[in-house]
Amino acid sequence: MGDDPASTLDQGTIAYLDPEYFQTGKLTDKSDVYSFGVVLAELLSGLKAIVTIRLEEYTNLATYFTKAKRDDLLLEIVDHQVLEEATVEQLKETCDVACRCLDRQAKNRPSMKEVTMKLESIRNTNSLMNEGEQDDLYDILLAANGETSTT
């Protein structure tokens, strides 16, 4: 792999790009939501944006994560630490948020404000993550909305 920029692009940035970007060539606010969904799926699963599913067979995490949800297999790919710290309801709700963000059609994705509000609601119902990680995620969400933390 090395320092080849094309290799970096293929294994990093592309996995975070809105699928509609490849059709339209335009990034939108909903493109940011998609990218955040990839980050949220990474946090929940402990996997990278490009997933090795078999020796020399790769897929992007967004596809892998949404397929696992569709097939009711999320418990098999969610990071063990998340499983230990979250209730089943928190896990389902957070995975649902991630999958809504990862919808292939931008019009079906929530706004970042809706994502922020839903994750805040889940956070307030007895945290999915430890407090330091929660605060980091909350700060990321606020920054995505152009806000700053008051805590």
Question: What pLDDT, in 10s, does the model give residues 116-150?
Answer: 999 999 988 754 444 555 555 555 555 555 666 55
4-8, 78-82, 105-109, 124-128: range with lowest mean pLDDT: 4-8
Please name each of the domains of the chain with its CATH number.
Answer: 5-144 (1.10.510.10)
Question: What pLDDT, in 10s, does the model give residues 96-120?
Answer: 999 999 999 999 999 999 999 999 9
Look over the chain and give the mean of its residue pLDDT values, rounded to a whole number: 81
SS3 49: coil
Nearest-angstrom CA–CA distance, 100 and 102:
5
**Do residues 126 and 100 make contact, with C-beta atoms less than 8 angstroms apart?**
no
Q: pLDDT category, 53, cuts 50, 70, 90?
A: confident
Nearest to 45 by CA among 122, 98, 121, 9: 98
Alpha carbon distances (Å) from 35 to 90, 94, 95, 114, 151 = 21, 16, 15, 15, 25
Neighbours of 61 (CB within 10 A): 24
151 vs 86, residue with greater confidence: 86
